[in-house]
Amino acid sequence: MRGHDIVAWGSAMKLETIEDLSFADLICPFCHGELSSHERALTCRSCRKEYPVVDGIPSFGQKDEYWCNVRRETMQELNNRARESGDWLKAARELIPQYVEHIEPFDRADAQYLWPVNGESRVLDAGSMWGGLAIPAAQHCGEVFAVDKTIETLAFLKIRAKQMGFRNVHIVASPVQRLPFPDGYFDLVVLSGVLEWVAFDQDVVLEIHWGKRRQDSAVYSKDPRQVQVEVLREIQRVLKRGGHLYLAIENSIGYPYLAGVPDEHMNIMYVSFLPRFLANTITRWKLNCEYRTYTYSSRGYRSLLRDGGFTDMEYYGAFSHYIQPSMIIPADLIRHWKEVAIPVHNARWYQKLAVKMFPAGLLKYSSPSFIIMAKAPGGDEPKEARIVQVLRKAGLLDGSAPSDIKVVKSGGRAGSYHAANFLIYENNDTRPACFCKVCRNNRYADILENEAKNLKTVNRLLMDTELSACIPRLLYSGNIDNISILVTQYLEGAPSKFNLNTGFTTKNLRKLDSSIQSAIRFLATFQRYTQVSEVEATPHLLSVIESQRETLNEQERLTEEVDSRIGDLVQAIEKLDGLRIPVCAVHGDYDLCNLLFSGDRVSIVDFEHFESEGLPFFDLANLIFNPIILSYTNMKTSDSLLGTIARSNLENYIGRWLALYQRLSGLPAQLLELIGPLSVMEQNTKAYPYYREPRTYPMWGETMLNELLAQRIEL
């Protein structure tokens, strides 16, 4: 809302009481009359109902209600500390550290790039709580109204938005059953994890709610579905003609619940899909309350939304959960993603068999959660997902009709630093047209800019070679409508079949062996094409080791044991007199997680850490040791890494891999025998970019430093 839009309150509004000019359009949620402000309250000019203003937040609830993960006293202390310190994040880390990863990262809002909105859109986040969706969305929308019935979480969100510099986030306390907004006010309404709770009219503190027997039980006059329909009709009222509802909610017949995972609202197995009367009997018996947190199947949601006044609906499966989905897949594409969508790495043999036999065509009906874009009546002109709008402006989707484009949110690291990954499908093709990275937080757009620069370099280096088709070809990078993107061609391939959770079984090691041998062949060719010079091994490595030793000393990590083993490494390097090392390009994160396999062909992605000049050992060591260390960590054994390697036949495999690399690269065996200590020193002394936590690297840390410094492989 802009200053010239203020008409409802006029001179009656006191800015020292109501800080935000955007509240000028608020109406009485009961009679829809105009409001006037006085003495820290709002009064309806028609029905004379009065609504308090608490900490600058208009409050339209008829009673004091509380719904949050933590107790009210904790939230009040959090707000006081955040306000006084000026650092909401530090306060959250001190008082509710277990929820910081739920509050801070922007990846929870990746689905916003599927919303049919633009930079001028007005969005309502109904049930906003701590602002996990409202804050990230405020970057790319004109205005975001955050509504919740819990004043304490709204106060926290207000503090957070102010300290982060978001002036377009407006805070209102209100139940979603009666909203204090005019008809046709919003372009999009977000209802994420809310609709299933609206008929449960009791205070909830989630950290003590699940599975706990309640002391008293409310008396209800309305059926839960009736309440949900009323909420949907209210949302439809405040939407513009052709506006959209973004509904994120569990699937009552999702495969986790069919397999016995407890319902996430009552913490009781099977109640989500049992007949309602039976579910109600069980919750009354176990929890002394009615079963009122209704969820539905896809068919049930379609009926519910139609009764709520919505017309066209587009369904997505959210895996593994809508709260922080790693994948969001249009319903008619889910069958192609069965192996990725249903993780079985920790499953028992019969569970794996059941998944294998499960018909892929039924998966769209049994995804754990749904994301549904439902359209309000009117506005016949089709509206496209935000990411599609941006790609059209980049000139990449000019030839496709809106109905012919599908978008999949596909994997990627969590957090605010890292990009959200999307695959774009055109014309009903089962192969993506392109791959797109979207910067989640505009403060970190330089990360994508750096990767785009690296891709341009590597595309140029490998031009006209057989590897050019195995490296993402950059199609576009830049900022459109305040959204930074990087778009590349789609690379075919599947991840390695090696399972980090199975351990070093004979079968699993064969899978690792196959992947690493293929990756070594690719790496040796990559390094040959990108070689720029050679250096003498002994003086160069001794200089590097001395610098790395000084870095460890400055970091107070140079223990006597580490220093002694560095001395052993120096002695080994001094015996390399006369040998030369190629200087070539370094991927910097040459790990199985960044490699795609298609038969004998290997493709490589993610060039954030690419360097055009470096030594060849680091990529090779990452490839070999990272999966071994991660598997070793997952085993939770008391044995050492080197002890596990010795007892798992891994020494023979590592020797075989290094011998293969030696034949392909021509590097002397004396050098390759030192790959462990040389690479672990580099890993632990690198200057890391601000967006990468060193502890996320398998070879980083005191334990690995000590062990790999002592590691030698004889060839």
Q: Give 502-511 pLDDT, tens digit per residue.
A: 889 999 999 9
Asked if residues 425 and 416 have their Cβ atoms less than 8 Å apart, the reply is no
Q: For position 10, what pLDDT does the model report?
A: 28
The percent of residues above 70 in pLDDT, for the chain, comes to 94
* Average pLDDT value for residue range 164-168: 95
Residue 346, pLDDT score: 59
CA gap 446, 442 in Å, rounded = 9
Distance CA 531, CA 30 (A): 73
User: What gap in Å lies between CA 560 and CA 565, rounded to an integer?
Assistant: 9
**Tens digit of pLDDT for each residue in 516-561?**
999 999 999 999 999 999 999 999 999 999 999 999 999 999 999 9
Write out pLDDT tens, residues 581-606: 999 999 999 999 999 999 889 999 99
pLDDT classification of 365: cutoffs 50, 70, 90: very high
Average pLDDT over residues 150-175: 96
DSSP 59: B
Nearest CA among 179, 234, 183, 186 for reference residue 51: 179
Mean pLDDT confidence for 672-677: 95
Q: What is the pLDDT of residue 338?
A: 78
Buried b (16+ CB within 10 A) or exposed e, 510-547: eebeebbebbbebbbbbbbbbeeeeeebbebbeebbee
The band of 411, judged by pLDDT with boundaries at 50, 70 and 90, is confident
Cα angle 301, 105, 486 (rounded to 5 degrees) comes to 90
Residue with token string 């299933």: 196
What tokens were used for 350?
């019969």
Please compute the mean of the pLDDT values over residues 334-352 and round it to a whole number: 70
- Fold exhibited by the domain 407-488: Phosphorylase Kinase; domain 1 (3.30.200)
pLDDT tens digits along 64-92: 899 999 999 999 999 999 999 999 999 99
Q: Which of 154-168, 186-200, 681-695 has the lowest mean pLDDT?
A: 681-695
Q: Which of 178, 194, 297, 298 is nearest to 247 (CA)?
A: 194
Q: What is the pLDDT confidence band of residue 4, given thresholds at 50, 70 and 90?
A: very low
Helix (H) or strand (E) holding 616: none
End-to-end Cα distance, the chain:
71
With a cut of 50, say whether residue 3 has pLDDT above it.
no
Two tokens, residue 626: 């990272």
Residue 146: is its pLDDT beyond 60? yes
The three-point CA angle 30-31-34 to 5° equals: 110
As a whole number, the mean pLDDT across the chain is 91
Q: Looking at residues 422-438, what average pLDDT do you find? A: 92
- Do 407-488 and 506-709 fold alike per CATH? no
Q: For residues 444 and 691, is the Cβ–Cβ distance under 8 A?
A: yes
- The torsion of the CA quartet 284, 287, 291, 293, rounded to 10 degrees, works out to 180
Total H helices, total E strands in the chain? 23, 24
Residue 639 CA to residue 702 CA, distance in Å, equals 16
Taking residues 220-241, report their average pLDDT: 96
For residue 135, name the pLDDT band (cuts at 50, 70, 90): very high
Q: SS in 3 state form for 524-588?
A: HHHHHHHCCEEEEHHHHHHHHHHHHHHHHHHCCCCCHHHHHHHHHHHHHHHCCCCCEEEEEEECC
Closest CA to 600 of 667, 655, 521, 696: 521
pLDDT tens across 680-708, in order? 999 999 999 998 889 999 999 999 999 99
Q: Are the C-beta atoms of 292 and 382 separated by less than 8 Å?
A: no
pLDDT digits (tens, 9 = 90+) for 446-473: 999 999 999 999 999 999 999 999 999 9
Burial readout 611-643 (b: 16 or more C-beta within 10 A, e: otherwise): eeebbbbbbbbbbbbbbbbbbbeebeeeeebbe
pLDDT at 11: 27
Q: Is the peptide bond before 320 cis (omega within 30 degrees of 0)?
A: yes
- In this structure, are strands 50-54 and 57-58 parallel, antiparallel, or unpaired? antiparallel
Assess whether pLDDT exceeds 60 at residue 20. no
pLDDT at 177: 96
Q: Where do the structural domains in the chain lie, given as residue ranges?
A: 3-54, 407-488, 506-709
**Strand partners for 205:** 68
Confidence (pLDDT) at 348:
63
Q: What is the pLDDT of residue 399?
A: 75
Whether residue 222 is predicted with pLDDT greater than 50 in this model: the reply is: yes
Dihedral (Cα; 392, 394, 399, 402), 10-degree rounding? -10
Does residue 221 register a pLDDT over 90?
Answer: no
Q: Partners of 479 in the beta sheet?
A: 484
Report the percentage of the chain scoring pLDDT > 90: 78
Q: What is the pLDDT of residue 710?
A: 92
Domain spanning 506-709 has what CATH number?
Answer: 3.90.1200
Angstrom distances, CA of residue 292 to CA of 147, 287, 296, 307: 22, 12, 12, 19
Residue 14 has pLDDT above 70, yes or no: no
pLDDT band at residue 382 using 50, 70 and 90 as cut-offs: confident
pLDDT band at 5 (very low <50, low <70, confident <90, very high): very low
Q: Where does the pLDDT of residue 204 fall: very low under 50, low under 70, confident under 90, or very high at 90 and above?
A: confident
Residue 305, amino acid: L
Q: Which residue has the higher pLDDT, 351 or 480?
A: 480
Residue 401 pLDDT grade (very low, low, confident, very high; cuts 50, 70, 90): confident
DSSP letter at 161 equals H
pLDDT score, position 355: 67
pTM over cut 0.75: yes
Is the pLDDT at 12 greater than 70? The verdict is no
Is the distance from CB of 374 to CB of 253 less than 8 angstroms? no
Confidence at 626, pLDDT banded by 50, 70, 90: very high
Per-residue pLDDT of 292-306, as tens digits, reads 999 999 999 999 999
More confident of the two residues 287 and 186: 186
Q: According to the model, what pLDDT value does residue 19 have?
A: 52
User: pLDDT for 629-670, tens place per residue?
Assistant: 999 999 988 899 999 999 998 999 999 999 999 999 999 999
Q: How many CB atoms lie within 10 A of CB 376?
A: 25
Q: What is the pLDDT of residue 289?
A: 87
Residue 398: per-residue pLDDT? 76
DSSP state of 229: H
Q: What is the mean pLDDT of residues 364-377?
A: 95
Block residue for tokens 């006084």: 84
Task: Give the confidence band of 351 by pLDDT, cuts at 50, 70, 90.
Answer: low
Instruction: For residue 705, give both structure tokens.
Output: 């430093």
pLDDT in the model for residue 430: 82
Q: What is the pLDDT of residue 22?
A: 60
Q: Is the pLDDT of residue 354 over 70?
A: no
589 within 8 A of 679, measured Cβ to Cβ: no
